[in-house]
């Protein structure tokens, strides 16, 4: 289909570097919240808009940018997205001297993320990789990897050199990824956009999958945002609770890649597996309603194992059914993902304030189960 001169591993490595570098600004804002809030003197509630602005912009741009990738091709779009991300990171480091400026820069970073995610999906499909499922699973590990990096690397940089240097490092990562993109990703725009692509899911099926993704990413977002504070509330030490998040994210990566190795050979529909796994995650979320520290640890592992794996199956199912239109198809479903991640921290936070952690985890479990049911229902359409 395109450059087969590059080994699949090289193409996948570049895809991960691109996915991580556009995700970093959003995750760094979470990881560095103590230092950034301290400098700007912003309360938690208002600071929540920093993460949310990033995802709201990504939501707004996802469908349009997915279509754009189909027209200009993955290499051009990734070039623009990574250059944009590098410039935004440097602008945050140099010029974000008020909270309002930080929000404006994060909105641009969110658009860069939406542009890169859809283009990477298209680039991987076009590369004619022998094992597309594995490639997508490894690429989908970019998000939890960015989450882990911001948790692990940030204190080292933020507490020694200051938080702005973390964004300088993020800009460097984006520029390194950009060099890789120039060398490995196909420059051609797909030929299939002129005639109707032979394999294409109907729009209403994509929308239902997107709504399922919104419910599922609410679950994933609530886990990511609140599992640490919930652990402390249940009696875990702060260090142990933070470690649980890192272990949960690492487990999420391991299980994603493990399933990815099976995906291309499996007779089961990817959406069906996702639905089944998510019910397991929902059971973990129910376990988190218990305010006992040992139960909280076990429930965290179950919730992450089941509740963080579905993006691999969702993307594989959509991309496999829409080979020529991978970018615009995932642009639709990715909108649901961003929307759920945008709603989750704010809504879950409000529920905790009013009714406590047990109620919040109950509602999270219900949203995960609803998303799982929708995945099972719509699987026949892909």
Tell me the residue ranges of DSSP E strands in the chain.
Answer: none
Domain residue limits, the chain: 8-189, 203-381
pLDDT at position 3 is: 44
Higher pLDDT, 224 or 170: 170
Which residue from 265, 67, 32, 277 is spatially nearest to 169, judged by alpha carbons?
32
Q: How confident is the model at residue 81 (pLDDT cuts 50, 70, 90)?
A: very high
Q: Do domains 8-189 and 203-381 have the same CATH topology?
A: yes
Which residue from 378, 160, 147 is spatially nearest to 245, judged by alpha carbons?
147
Mean pLDDT of all residues in 220-230? 85
| pLDDT 10s digits, 106-157 | 999 999 999 999 999 999 988 888 899 999 998 888 777 777 777 666 567 8
Please check whether residue 19 is in contact with residue 143, taking contact to mean a CB–CB distance below 8 angstroms: yes
**Phi, psi torsion values for 211, nearest 5 degrees:** -65, -40
| pLDDT 10s digits, 241-297 | 878 887 888 888 899 999 999 999 988 999 999 999 999 999 999 999 999 999 999
Which residue from 76, 40, 54 is spatially nearest to 143, judged by alpha carbons?
54
Classified as helix, coil or strand, 163 is coil
| pLDDT 10s digits, 190-202 | 554 444 444 688 9
Give CA–CA dist 206/1, Å, rounded: 25
The CATH number that domain 8-189 falls under is: 1.20.1250.20
CA atoms within 13 A on the CB side of 345: 21
319: Cα separation from own chain's centroid: 16
Classified as helix, coil or strand, 253 is helix
DSSP for 328-339, please give it: HHHHHHHHHHHH
Residue 56, both tokens: 């709201």
What does each C-alpha distance from 113 to 23, 142, 175 come to in angstroms? Answer: 6, 12, 15
Give the CA-trace dihedral at 332, 334, 336, 341, to 10 degrees: -160
Higher pLDDT, 191 or 177: 177
CATH topology of domain 203-381: Growth Hormone; Chain: A; (1.20.1250)
Higher pLDDT, 115 or 221: 115
Residue 4: pLDDT above 70? no
């Amino acid at each position: 289909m395109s450059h087969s001169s590059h080994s699949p591993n090289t193409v996948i490595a570049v895809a991960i570097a691109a996915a991580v570098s556009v995700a970093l600004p959003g995750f760094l804002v979470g990881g560095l919240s103590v230092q950034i809030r301290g400098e700007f003197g912003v309360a938690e509630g208002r600071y929540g808009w920093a993460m949310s602005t990033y995802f709201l912009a990504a939501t707004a741009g996802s469908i349009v940018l997915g279509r754009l990738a189909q027209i200009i091709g993955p290499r051009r779009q990734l070039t623009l997205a990574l250059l944009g991300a590098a410039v935004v990171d440097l602008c945050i480091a140099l010029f974000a001297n008020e909270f309002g400026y930080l929000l404006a820069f994060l909105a641009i970073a969110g658009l860069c993320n939406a542009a890169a995610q859809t283009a990477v999906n298209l680039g991987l499909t076009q590369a004619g990789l022998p094992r597309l499922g594995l490639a997508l699973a490894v690429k989908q590990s970019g998000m939890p990897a960015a989450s882990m990096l911001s948790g692990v690397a940030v204190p080292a940089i933020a507490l020694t050199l200051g938080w702005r240097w973390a964004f300088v490092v993020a800009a460097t990562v984006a520029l390194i990824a950009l060099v890789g993109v120039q060398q490995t990703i196909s420059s051609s725009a797909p030929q299939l956009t002129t005639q109707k692509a032979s394999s294409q899911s109907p729009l209403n099926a994509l929308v239902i999958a997107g709504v399922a993704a919104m419910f599922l990413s609410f679950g994933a977002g609530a886990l990511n945002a609140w599992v640490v504070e919930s652990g402390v509330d249940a009696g875990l030490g702060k260090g142990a609770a933070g470690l649980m998040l890192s272990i949960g994210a690492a487990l999420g990566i391991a299980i994603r890649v493990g399933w990815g190795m099976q995906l291309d050979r499996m007779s089961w529909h990817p959406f069906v597996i996702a639905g089944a796994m998510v019910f397991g995650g929902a059971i973990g979320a129910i376990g988190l309603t218990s305010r006992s520290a040992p139960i909280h640890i076990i429930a965290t592992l179950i919730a992450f194992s089941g509740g963080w794996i579905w993006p691999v199956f969702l993307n594989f199912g959509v991309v496999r059914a829409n080979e020529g239109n991978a970018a615009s198809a995932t642009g639709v479903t990715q909108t649901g993902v961003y929307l759920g991640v945008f709603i989750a921290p704010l809504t879950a936070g409000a529920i905790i304030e009013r009714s406590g952690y047990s109620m919040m985890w109950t509602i999270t479990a219900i949203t995960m189960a609803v998303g799982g049911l929708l995945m099972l229902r719509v699987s026949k359409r892909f």
